[in-house]
Structure 1
Amino acid sequence: MATGQWSQKRCDEKTAVVQAEMDRMTKLPAHSNYATHRMRVLNKILHLISIQRSSSQDEELELLFSGLSL
């Protein structure tokens, strides 16, 4: 497997972490700019996890995760 490509187990673990964070964000006020932005980023991560990614998309996914500090 090439560097940067995720195994299915790792994707499942990351998806669970993202879902938990999304649950946490739904408890914040709906008008919160922080929560709205973070939900957009989390949705982007879920989208990238769910598709067959190019190497640039793998890099984007890694950057998104590192930026969120999950």
Structure 2
Amino acid sequence: MESVKINTEFITLQQLLKTTDVIQSGGMVKWYLAEHEVLVNGEHETRRGKKLYAGDVVSIPDIGEFKVTTE
């Protein structure tokens, strides 16, 4: 599991996907979420603006898991 450190209250799912190089640009996120399974804390998520807080886990089959942490 890879950690994604934030220094703000939250990060959006779109920002996390870009930060971890899962997608190349923000314009790809809507398509990516429609075509691929993305789980946030074990639940399927399709909202690019979903707020992720410290302790949340994003799982993407065949790519990996990312845990949001604070500095």
Normalized per residue, the structure richer in helix is 1
Alignment TM-score, normalising by the size of structure 1: 0.33
Name which one, 1 or 2, has greater alpha-carbon Rg.
1
